[in-house]
Amino acid sequence: MPGLALSLKIGLDFSLKFVRLHEKPFIPIHHMEAHALTVRMLQPLDFPFLVLLISGGHSLLALAKGIDEFLLLGKTLDVAVGDSLDKIARRLSLRNHPDCLTLSGGQAIELLAKEGDQLAFHFTSPMEKLYNCNFSFAGFQRQVTMEIMKKETEEGIEKGQVLSCAKDIAAASQYTAASHIAKRTHRAILFCKSKDLLPQHNPTLVVSGGVASNEYIRQILKIVTDATGLHLLCPPSKLCTDNGVMIAWNGIERLKQGKGIMSYTEEIKYEPKAPLGLDITSEVKDAAIKLPPLKLRIRS
Ligand code: KG4
Ligand code: ZN
């Protein structure tokens, strides 16, 4: 991601100087692990638990087995859900919508969707015939973009103007993204159950990342966790989007367990694309679990 490496370099340079000045231990933090574990700051939650991380940079499902032990069950094959919602919002020129001026793309979509008709447009749910837990949002984004272009021609819209049906497009896009996420999550839960990976007592799904603050997506996920007997935990919105607290909390967890504390910092490098945990996505694919029917439609 252009720009990301530079931000990481600036952060790393600053924190190295800071720990040297104050003679503190240096603990490298994995961004996605920090998202996944923030919830443990707010309430006791034992490992293992299932994590759905949906943000601007990531869409993944993982089993958290320990503070530095994860099994990756599914990941996006192209773009992340937040990125696709941001691009759709930009293509809809929502920056020029009076109610959305200060909102991120995902927030703008959620707000407009509240007044839209999610049935007014139909976008196909990605990878329905592939029985794995991976995500894909590029084709969905393309479909929505083409519909926007079609409507712009029909309405004779100038660049930068907001379509009269923007609310409906937002609602239908949010529904398609939400149901894709819910179906992949449903399969991940069934996979974990089939392999006895979740505890008998209080099996939990944690949802985090910027997109997890979306109330509609939370409601759809609740349908899935209710149907499968899991407990759904979503940290409050301000802790779901990128924040310093989640990084600090991950540092505390590591410090308490004495994990990943560096005594020698000379050769430390940042990693813009560090994968999360042990990748077992092909095992999940081989299990080819078909989903039982589940009604996911809720009012937007
Ligand atoms: O976790 P985050 O702050 O940064 C990354 O690590 O990517 O997530 C930012 C992403 C953006 O794509 C933003 O549009 C999306 O989260 N987002 C939302 C909502 N709030 C933020 N997406 C949907 N609904 C929301 N309410
Ligand atoms: Zn993030």
Residue 261 has pLDDT above 90, yes or no: yes
Provide the 10 A C-beta neighbour count for residue 153.
9
Q: Is the peptide bond before 48 cis (omega within 30 degrees of 0)?
A: yes
pLDDT of res. 269: 85
User: Using one digit for the tens of pLDDT, what is the confidence trace for 122-158?
Assistant: 999 999 999 999 999 999 999 999 999 999 999 999 8
User: Using one digit for the tens of pLDDT, what is the confidence trace for 10-41?
Assistant: 989 999 999 889 988 899 999 999 999 999 99
CA of 256 from ligand 1 middle (Å) equals 30
Residue 16 CA: distances (Å) to CA of 26, 170, 249, 253 = 7, 43, 18, 20
Q: Please list the helix, strand and coil fractions of the chain in percent, rounded to the nearest 5, in that order.
A: 50, 10, 40
pLDDT of res. 159: 82
Tell me the residue type at 143.
Answer: Q
Across the range 107-132, mean pLDDT stands at 97
Cβ partners under 8 Å of residue 129, min gap 6: none
Helix/strand/coil for 88 = helix
Mean pLDDT of the chain: 95
User: Using one digit for the tens of pLDDT, what is the confidence trace for 156-185?
Assistant: 998 889 999 999 999 999 999 999 999 999
Quick one: how far is CA 212 from the chain centroid?
6
CA of 27 from ligand 1 middle (Å) equals 26
CA of 241 from ligand 1 middle (Å) equals 6
Determine contact, residues 239/246, Cβ cutoff 8 Å. yes
DSSP E strands: which ranges in 69-187? Answer: 69-75
Find the length of the chain: 300
The two tokens of residue 171 are 């609602």
Residue 1 has pLDDT above 50, yes or no: no
Provide the 10 A C-beta neighbour count for residue 59.
30
CB-count burial class (<10 Å; 0-12, 13-18, 19+) for 134:
buried
pLDDT of res. 3: 59
Ligand 1 neighbour 86 (Cβ under 6 A): yes
User: Of all residues in the chain, what percent carry a pLDDT higher than 70?
Assistant: 98
Most ligand 1 atoms within 8 A of CB, residue of 30, 81, 83, 85 to mutate: 85
CA–CA dist 110, 174 (Å, integer) = 7
Ligand 1 neighbour 239 (Cβ under 6 A): no
pLDDT of res. 263: 81
Q: Convert 226-236 to b/e letters by CB count within 10 Å (16 or more is b).
A: eebebebbbbe
Residue 152: half-sphere exposure toward Cβ, Cα within 13 Å: 15
User: Using one digit for the tens of pLDDT, what is the confidence trace for 204-217?
Assistant: 999 999 999 999 99
Determine contact, residues 50/192, Cβ cutoff 8 Å. yes
Across the range 193-201, mean pLDDT stands at 97
Determine contact, residues 52/249, Cβ cutoff 8 Å. no
Give the phi and the psi of residue 61 in degrees, each rounded to 5: -120, 130
Q: Which residues surround the ion ligand 2 when the cut-off is CB under 5 Å?
A: 55, 242
CA of 262 from ligand 1 middle (Å) equals 31
pLDDT of res. 268: 85
Ligand 1 neighbour 203 (Cβ under 6 A): no
Across the range 67-92, mean pLDDT stands at 98
* pTM score, whole prediction: 0.95
CA–CA dist 185, 181 (Å, integer) = 6
CA of 300 from ligand 1 middle (Å) equals 19
Across the range 104-123, mean pLDDT stands at 97
pLDDT of res. 33: 95
Q: What is the number of the ligand 1 atom nearest to the C-alpha of 31?
A: 6
Q: Could you please report the per-residue DSSP string of 136-155?
A: --HHHHHHHHHHHHHHHHHH
Indicate which residue's Cα is closest to atom 23 of ligand 1: 106
Residue 121 has pLDDT above 50, yes or no: yes
